[in-house]
Amino acid sequence: MSTAKSYDTDELYDNCSSDPKEVTCFCGKTAFTIFNGRVRQVRECACIDCYQHLTWAHNLGGPEFPPILPISYWDNDVRMDRGEDNLMVVMLRESGRSRRLVAKCCHSTLMVDHINYKQLKFLLFENACKIPWDNETDPPSVTRPPSDRVFMRDWDDSRGELPEFKGDPSRIDLGCCPSFTNKTNRESIDNPLGETSQSLFQRLPWYSLEIDEGVIPKNKGDWPELKPIEPR
pLDDT tens digit sequence for 133-182 = 999 999 999 999 999 999 999 999 999 999 999 999 999 999 987 776 65
- Give me the mean pLDDT over the 41-58 stretch: 96
Starting at the edge strand found earlier in the chain, the sheet holding 98-103 runs: 149-150, 41-45, 69-75, 121-125, 109-114, 98-103, 87-91, 206-208, 227-229
- As a whole number, the mean pLDDT across the chain is 92
High-pLDDT (> 70) share of the chain, %:
93
Range of the domain at 116: 17-134+143-156+173-180+189-229
Per-residue pLDDT band for 56 (boundaries 50, 70, 90) equals very high
User: Residue 51: inside a domain, yes or no?
Assistant: yes
User: Residue 45: inside a domain, yes or no?
Assistant: yes
In contact, 40 and 32? CB cutoff 8 Å: no
pLDDT tens digit sequence for 84-143 = 999 999 999 999 999 999 999 999 999 999 999 999 999 999 999 999 999 999 999 999
- Greater confidence (202 vs 220) lies with 202
Which pTM value belongs to this model? 0.93
Q: Is residue 7 scored above 80 in pLDDT? A: no
Per-residue pLDDT band for 11 (boundaries 50, 70, 90) equals confident
- Greater confidence (177 vs 40) lies with 40
Per-residue pLDDT band for 183 (boundaries 50, 70, 90) equals low
Rg of the chain, C-alpha, whole Å: 17
User: Residue 91: inside a domain, yes or no?
Assistant: yes
- 3-class DSSP assignment, residue 198: helix
Q: Which residues contact 53 (CB under 8 A, 6 or more apart)?
A: 90, 92, 98, 100, 109
Domain harbouring 89, CATH code: 2.170.150.70
Domain count along the chain: 1
User: Residue 125: inside a domain, yes or no?
Assistant: yes
Buried b (16+ CB within 10 A) or exposed e, 205-223: ebbbbbbeeeebeeeeeeb
High-pLDDT (> 90) share of the chain, %:
86
Q: Is residue 185 scored above 70 in pLDDT? A: no
